[in-house]
Amino acid sequence: MPPMKIEPLEFLAYQVTGQEGVYRVCLEENDFFGHCSCAHFAYRVQPALNRGERPWPCKHLVLARMTAWSEIAPLLAKHWNKQK
């Protein structure tokens, strides 16, 4: 199932086949790197962010970003066109 939008920049990402659970992804947190409620994010990604690194995001965050892009891109295009 694709990520489900719950607020303008927040999406629910469903875990991929073979694992169980529904994770909450917020794209605004960590200076727009995003945040996910899954264990991978908590134990691998967030500690790396806290060390100032730019780690590869968890798959739920990747899916939420991809889903958000089709909504964000038109807004960016509109904004950029206004500035010309």
Residues that bind Zn ion in the complex, under the rule CB under 5 A: 23, 36, 38, 41, 58, 60
CA distances to 8, 17, 38, 66 from 5, rounded to whole Å, are 7, 20, 17, 12
Considering beta carbons, is residue 19 or 74 the nearer one to Zn ion?
19
Considering beta carbons, is residue 24 or 72 the nearer one to Zn ion?
24
Least distance from Zn ion to the Cβ atom of residue 83, Å: 35
Considering beta carbons, is residue 27 or 36 the nearer one to Zn ion?
36
Contact between 59 and 11 under an 8 Å Cβ cutoff? The reply is: no
